[in-house]
Amino acid sequence: MCEGHAMTMSRTPAAASDGAAVRAFLTRLHFYVGLFVGPFLLVAAITGTLYVLTPQIENILYRDQLVAQTEGPARPLSEQITAARVSIGEGPRLFAVRPAKNETQTTRVMFTEPGLGESETRTVFIDPATAAVQGELITYGTSGILPFRIALDYLHRNLLLGDIGRHYSELAASWLWVSILGGVLLWYWQRGVKRPALAKVSTHQRSRRLHTVIGLWTAIGFLFLSATGLTWSRWAGGNIDVFRNTVGWITPAITTALNPAAEAPVLGEHAAHGMGAPVETAAAVAESDMVARFDAVVASSRAAGIDSPMIEIRPPRTVDQAFRVSEYDRSWPTQVDTIAVDPNTFAVTSRADFATFPIVAKLIRWGIDAHMGVLFGVANQVLMALLGISLTAMIIYGYRMWWTRRPAPGGSVRTLIRSFSYMSPVAKLISLVVAVAFSVVLPVMGVSLLVFLLIDFFRAALGEMMAAEQRNMPPGMR
């Protein structure tokens, strides 16, 4: 028994040392993420908050285009589409039609043409009761947002820099969950440390307390933002789609090919983002022939169970394709059923009903919609805005903590590499395996981690040079 007690006592200092080394390493990593990724997280938080708070503002800005000037029974869709075509001219290609949701709203007739961005359309707004044109705007994506919120969406997604700018939002989403989980761990390890009363604390301690409280109360929400943000990202999102396809967690999709073997369904959430026309392998269909069939297609869709007032009809491009009719109401309860309708017989040839989606596909759909602030209406907007404001405040308090305790020139340098060197071989091996694994799955995280290490290396080298210079100075000049 005494021998066992002695063995236990001999192991205790080593175990404590290993734990302290791991805590020091995670503390330094948490600091680096906050210092270097914080600005990107701050921009994402502010722009995301602006985006979720502005649907009502956009409705006011574009009231002339969105609200029908005349109340009454709607004219046939074919007549409304013809009016839109006359207004826009012969150049643009008819892409889709969104009939008015009710008598107070306008119909959207959407066209594509060269020069528009991905998922953008030129949309003509038609008064459904008179088929009069009420304006034309660029619209974007399934949500159908208008120029004001398109700018906010691009700012949030890519800083208005196109595909290159998408790396900023992926960087923020890749590190947010690491920062949050690391912060929770650091709080857990230090929870027993007694702090002075609020009246006696310094600016640094007050900032730290607020930073910690915000992080703990909103940790789950931040993890949600990180996970859903990654599904939309360029590199990590692509890897997530590959994984889902591999394990069978795919989102069901219809085929618009009248010969089903000629077209494979598109898999993954990213498939719905592009709005370009499919590759035309058969003779093109005349627009006038398809326009005349829109009303019959809508009637067939209603009979087939497409009952949401928010539907979009895409005409076929070639003679061997069907109409695509989709619900796009992503509020609760979600209505996003999609069917294909034969333009000749008006029979349903393919369908994908949300009720039959795998649970993972449903969760991803709901997660993305909640991230955008549309799943639960105004309550969802308020919740996302609060998360954005909380993240903004937490980052500001984090920088305030750093500023009040920033190291003096020539002071001691604590680096990530040095903290790593103090860890046990087992802890080092686990850290390396985890870092490599996540760098493969989240490539932007991997590249940024290398940047962290380079900065860390040069910072350590610079610190040693400054310390050596101070040691070599005469005593009176130090």
Q: What is the pLDDT of residue 265?
A: 47
What is the rounded distance in angstroms from the CA atom of residue 74 to the CA atom of residue 128?
A: 5
pLDDT digits (tens, 9 = 90+) for 335-347: 999 999 999 999 9
Q: What is the pLDDT of residues 107-127, one digit of tens each?
A: 999 999 999 999 999 999 999
Q: For residues 78 and 172, what is the distance between their CA atoms, to the nearest angstrom? A: 46
Are 308 and 338 contacting, i.e. CB atoms less than 8 angstroms apart? no
Q: Answer yes or no: are the C-beta atoms of 59 and 66 closer than 8 Å.
A: yes
pLDDT at 412: 61
The pLDDT of residue 17: 77
pLDDT value at residue 270: 47
Q: How far is CA 171 from CA 100, 275, 357, 465, in A?
A: 39, 26, 30, 32
Collect all residues with Cβ–Cβ distance below 8 Å to 442 and sequence separation of at least 6. Answer: 174, 230, 235, 236, 239
Angle in degrees, CA 12, 14, 20, rounded to 5: 100
Amino acid (one-letter) located at 166: R
Distance, CA of 311 to CA of 462 (rounded, Å):
62
Rounded to whole angstroms, the Cα distance separating 301 from 389 reads 43
The H or E element containing residue 106 is: none
Q: What residues in the chain have per-residue pLDDT under 70?
A: 1-16, 192-200, 260-282, 408-413, 467-471, 473-478
Q: Phi then psi for 47, rounded to 5 degrees?
A: -70, -35
Question: CB-hemisphere CA count at 13 Å for 253?
Answer: 18
Q: Do residues 413 and 460 lie in contact, with contact meaning Cβ atoms separated by under 8 Å?
A: yes
Reported pTM: 0.88
The half-sphere exposure of 96 on its side-chain side, counting CA atoms within 13 A, is 22
For residue 314, give Cα distances in angstroms to 4, 84, 107, 184.
76, 15, 14, 48
CA neighbor of 14 nearest in space, from 432, 425, 424: 424
Partner residues linked to 432 by β-bridges: none
